[in-house]
Amino acid sequence: MADNNLESKFRTGMFVIAMFLMLVATLHFYFSVQDVIGTWFEYQYASIFRAIFSFCVIVVCIYLIRFHIISRG
């Protein structure tokens, strides 16, 4: 039983580390895309594309959260 508890703690620790790394990578990706939008599009249209991209990120996050909650429920 102690081995199972240790394995559970190890898996939980690996999950936390992986989630933290994914958060850092996601933030880096988000701000990189914002820079790319500013580079590729004219300045008067850049804010529109930033808003569209941010909206898409919000939709994906809501979908993933709902999927996670539904899978646990």
Can you give the pLDDT at residue 15? 84
Going residue by residue through the chain, which has 73 residues, state the pLDDT in tens, using 9 for 90 and above.
Answer: 566 788 888 888 888 888 888 888 888 988 898 889 888 888 888 888 888 888 888 888 888 888 877 776 5
Can you give the pLDDT at residue 64? 81
Distances (CA, A) of 33 to 22, 25, 47, 57, 64: 16, 12, 12, 11, 20
pTM of the model as a whole:
0.62
Can you give the pLDDT at residue 67? 80
